């Protein structure tokens, strides 16, 4: 199961259930996918086929909505 946190501009931001304990978010679009760490700071963990421009856009979205993502993580993984 991979719950979606939100969708924006063709990107899907989601978690993989019980993948690992360090807080992170996965992002998918038709061009590829990436994984960003949220702790200790927002940082690219993995990239598959996304351009630098796309990664910068995604990172900005994560920064703008990091409270929402962190709250969703805590809510989802505490249950």
Rg of the chain in Å (alpha carbons): 12
Describe the strand order of the beta sheet including 11-14 as a list of residue ranges: 4-8, 11-14, 24-29, 32-37, 43-48
Full-model pTM? 0.93
Residue 1 has a pLDDT of 63
- Asked whether the beta carbons of 16 and 2 are under 8 A apart, the reply is yes
**pLDDT in single tens digits along all 79 residues of the chain:** 689 999 999 999 999 877 788 999 999 999 999 999 999 999 999 999 999 999 999 999 999 999 999 999 999 888 7
For 70, counting Cβ atoms within 10 Å of its Cβ (0-12 exposed, 13-18 middle, 19+ buried), the class is: middle
Domain-wise residue ranges, the chain: 4-78
């Amino acid at each position: 199961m991979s719950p979606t946190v939100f969708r924006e501009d063709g990107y899907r931001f989601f978690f993989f259930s019980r993948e690992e304990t360090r807080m992170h978010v996965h992002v998918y679009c038709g061009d590829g996918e990436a994984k960003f760490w949220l702790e200790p700071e927002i940082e690219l963990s993995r990239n598959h086929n996304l351009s630098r421009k796309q990664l910068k856009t995604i990172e900005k979205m994560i920064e703008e909505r990091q409270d929402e993502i962190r709250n969703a993580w805590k809510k989802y993984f505490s249950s």
